[in-house]
Amino acid sequence: QPNAFCYHQAILACEHAGSVRQALGYLEEMEAAGIDANIYTYTAAVQVCSTRGAFRRALELVDTMCAKGPKPTSVTFNVLLRGAIAADQLDIAAKVLESMPKLGAQPDAYSFSMVMNGYAKEGDVEEALRWLRKMPKKLVSNMTYHGLIAALCDAGLTQSALPL
């Protein structure tokens, strides 16, 4: 008899197959079978939607999690942030990052770095540096600066990277 773990694995396989429809179908199948979707199955579905061009659907899944549970974790939000940045939705990524604490998930260094580096790659140095300043000091490391400098250099903004 399938359980939540089986569905989690099946949903993850949908990412490799590129099938958002099938991943969401597994969530519906779970509900019909009386199996509660857990943080792993939801996060996997968010990942499939985020990486396979259904970013709006990923946002809806996170909204469902916030409303009905299980509550999204920083891992869930980081998956969503990666998807937003991949979909060129940096402003949405920034809003997601800002909303995480209110929704019970603390952003980590990776959360901040994704948004900060996204802005740097777009050439928006001021916004990237604003996110660096917003990042809690305890999360800032050499890797934070390395990522930001690399993103600025990739964007052809080597002179902006030098003062860092």
Q: Please check the confidence at residue 162 and state whether its pLDDT lies above 80.
A: no
**What pLDDT shows up at residue 151?**
87
Model confidence pLDDT, tens digit, residues 11-23: 999 999 999 999 9
Q: Return the closest-CA partner of residue 56 out of 20, 9, 5, 26.
A: 20
Confidence at residue 138, expressed as pLDDT on a 0 to 100 scale: 96
* Per-residue burial over 36-49, b = 16 or more CB atoms within 10 Å of its CB, e = otherwise: ebbbbbbbbbbbbb
Instruction: Report CA dihedral (93, 37, 67, 80) to the nearest 10 degrees.
Output: 0
Q: How confident is the model at residue 71 (pLDDT cuts 50, 70, 90)?
A: very high
Whether the upstream peptide bond of residue 70 has omega within 30° of 0, thus cis, is yes
Stretch 25-31: mean pLDDT: 96
Give the pTM: 0.90
- The average pLDDT across 94-111 equals 96
Read out DSSP for 41-82? HHHHHHHHHHHTT-HHHHHHHHHHHHHHSSPP-HHHHHHHHH
